[in-house]
Structure 1
Amino acid sequence: MENSNNSTSKVVYTGTTTTTGGRQGASKSSDGRLDITLTPPGGRGEGTNPEQLFAAGWSACFLGAMGKSAAIKNIKLPADSRIDAEVDLVLSDTEGYSLQVRLNISLPGIDREDALAIAEHAHTLCPYSKAIKGNIKVETIIL
């Protein structure tokens, strides 16, 4: 695949799922590793919702990107590093539904200035951060 800036790129992985029933349905991955029931936010019963799935996916990807960012600064992320991701489903009377996110980041033993720099740089590496840049409100909070 050619990019407009004459660099080449290749697909390294494709995640494939089939979803039926929308927010009151189910999703299953093509390899069978993911097989979940979907429920609306705050719904009763077992299952999860798209906001929780997005929070899990983004926080996992972002933590990996922070590891790469830290390595550039010759810093090793502590084993107990974590991200508490909060994804809000927002309803506006003028724009309908949208999302907003808070990434609450804990990097024990890393000073605040380095933690902020690592997180800022990670946004330039993480595919989720790149995909939503400028589209939704995102707060990156160092705990």
Structure 2
Amino acid sequence: MTDGSAVDTVHTVDTRPTKITYVAEATAHGGRDGYVTSQDGQIELKVAMPPELGGDGNGTNPEQLFAAGYSSCFHNALILVGNRAGFDLTGSTVAAKVGIGPNRTKGYGLAVALSVSLPVLDQELAGKLVDAAHQVCPYSNATRGNIDVTIILG
């Protein structure tokens, strides 16, 4: 509220899907010290706590899987917006770092850093494509406002 008589309106964009076209299904067995499988058999991975969180690190972990998913999804969104704008983004890459740590509510939270390399484009154009990809990417839409996502253009 401003002066008691007017209400400030917050405009949000609804990024929820209007139609579900694909559903992925995975099952965890044993939490962070077990294994994960996908319904189609494409994933069957041992999961282990990383040493930084008190584990032996003898397996993948949810943060690595999230980093793999976010980086590949964001890269695909980048290629999509690049192609729509008439650019070939061959040689581009997206790397993701996913951090985990305690939050203020005595739980845990995540933070993401995406490093984008677009060697064939100048920085200004690359930045515009990255911004557009950030609006298209389902992972970006899901995390927006929920976790810190930093995008580094290099």
TM-score scaled by length of structure 2: 0.82
CA contact 2:50–2:57 (8 Å) conserved in 1: no
Higher Rg: 2
Distance 1:139 1:132 in 2: 11
What TM-score results when the alignment is normalised by the length of structure 1? 0.88
- For residues 46 and 22 of structure 1, do their structure 2 counterparts lie closer, same or farther at Cα, with a shift above 3 Å needed? same
Letter in 1 for 2:78: M
Mapped partners of 2:65, 2:77: distance in 1: 18
SS in 1 for 2:150: strand
Mapped pair 1:13 → 2:25: no
Q: Please tell me whether residue 63 in structure 1 is matched to residue 72 in structure 2.
A: no
The answer for the alignment partner of 2:4 in structure 1 is none
Q: Which moved more, 1:93-102 or 1:45-54?
A: 93-102
Separation in 2, partners of 1:122, 1:97: 28
Q: Which residue of 2 aligns with 1:53?
A: 65
Equivalence map 1:1-143=2 (5 Å): 9-42=18-51, 43-44=55-56, 46-78=58-90, 80-143=91-154
CA 94–12 in structure 1, closer or farther in 2 if over 3 Å, else same: closer
Is residue 111–residue 147 contact of structure 2 (8 Å, CA) maintained in 1? yes
CA distance in 2, matches of 1:66, 1:45: 32
User: Post-superposition shift, 1:94?
Assistant: 4.5
Root mean square deviation, CA, Å = 1.7
Once superposed, which parts of structure 1, at least 4 consecutive aligned residues long, lie more than 6 Å away?
none
Structure 2 residue ranges without an equivalent (≥5)? 1-13
| CA displacement 1:8-50 (0-9 Å, x = unmatched) | 9332111111111111111000111100010112332531000
Identity of aligned residues (%): 41
Gaps of 5+ in 1: none
